[in-house]
Amino acid sequence: MQYAEPINRLIKSFAKLPGIGEKTATRLALFVLNTNREYAEEFASSLKAVKDSVGLCSRCMTFSDVDPCVICADAGRDKSQVCVVSDYKDMMAIEAFAGYRGAYHILHGNLAPLKGVGPDEIKLKELVERVASNGVNEVILATGFDAEGDATATYIAGIIKPYNVTITRIASGVPVGSFIEYMDPSTLGRAMEGRRTI
Ligand SMILES: [Zn+2]
């Protein structure tokens, strides 16, 4: 006995989500099947809306439904300070710690040569262009402290060095392999305040 094709299709879609196995995917699909029509329609339309109306900010590369994003458009923020993070989640984590009032640059990944992720696969060119166009005094490298995040920070430091900007790396103070999104706000605050010039 097989599930009807539309149910199978939904199970397959759920199974592609991170951390969702076949069993959970089946449970979620059956939940949708048993729930009311309004919920299913709202769920479907929110999935579509996130792809239709959210793009990348042309300055900092963050996900945004407006361009420039609210952070880049905020006159109260110091655009000469650019905090470089591996992904959107890390930016949101730093943002949750209210102390930072500069701008961001989201790489959308870390360099990982063994996985085929080179400089052209992440938003590195855009960062270099931003630094080269002047107006940036400090680049804060806030990529993770795992091997890939560290290698990415070292690589970026090397390519932006000629542009005469201060390059800093946030202080680790957390076990090796920790990602920024999992740091609690006070650790993140200390990591930001304890950043060192490299
Ligand atoms: Zn932006």
Rounded average pLDDT over 126-153: 92
Rounded average pLDDT over 160-172: 91
Same domain, 133 and 77: yes
Where is the domain boundary, 17, 33, 53? 53
Same domain, 109 and 192: yes
Average per-residue pLDDT in the chain?
91
Taking only the tens place, the pLDDT of each residue in 61-94 is 999 999 999 999 999 999 999 999 999 988 998 8
Same domain, 17 and 112: no
Least confident of 45-59, 74-88, 89-103, 108-122: 89-103
d(CA 177, CA 150): 10
Taking only the tens place, the pLDDT of each residue in 7-42 is 999 999 999 999 999 999 999 999 999 999 999 999
- Tell me the pairing of strands 55-56 and 196-197: unpaired
Neighbours of ion ligand 1 (CB under 5 A): 57, 59-60, 68-69, 72
List, as one string, the DSSP characters of 68-113: S-HHHH-TTSEEEEEEEESSHHHHHHHHHSTT--EEEEE-SS--BG
Rounded average pLDDT over 37-51: 95
Same domain, 45 and 73: no
Same domain, 40 and 67: no
For ligand 1, the distance from its centroid to the CA atom of residue 175, given in whole angstroms, is: 30
Same domain, 10 and 89: no
Same domain, 63 and 35: no
Phi, psi at 50, each rounded to 5°: -65, -30
Assign 173 a pLDDT band (cuts: 50, 70, 90): low
And the tokens for 17? 């989500």
Selected residue with higher pLDDT from 187 and 44: 44
pLDDT of the residue at 142: 93
And the tokens for 69? 């994003």
pLDDT of the residue at 178: 54
pLDDT of the residue at 192: 81
For ligand 1, the distance from its centroid to the CA atom of residue 37, given in whole angstroms, is: 37
Least confident of 58-62, 134-138, 154-158, 188-192: 188-192
Same domain, 144 and 180: yes
For ligand 1, the distance from its centroid to the CA atom of residue 61, given in whole angstroms, is: 6
pLDDT of the residue at 179: 64
Rounded average pLDDT over 185-191: 76
Same domain, 104 and 152: yes
- Tell me the pairing of strands 138-141 and 166-169: parallel
d(CA 173, CA 160): 25
Same domain, 115 and 77: yes
Same domain, 94 and 175: yes
Note down the domain range covering 135: 56-197
- Contacting residues for 161 by C-beta, under 8 A, at least 6 apart: 167
Rounded average pLDDT over 183-192: 76
For ligand 1, the distance from its centroid to the CA atom of residue 31, given in whole angstroms, is: 37
User: What's 44's domain CATH number?
Assistant: 1.10.8.420
Assign 176 a pLDDT band (cuts: 50, 70, 90): very low
Same domain, 151 and 100: yes
Q: In the chain, how many domains are there?
A: 2
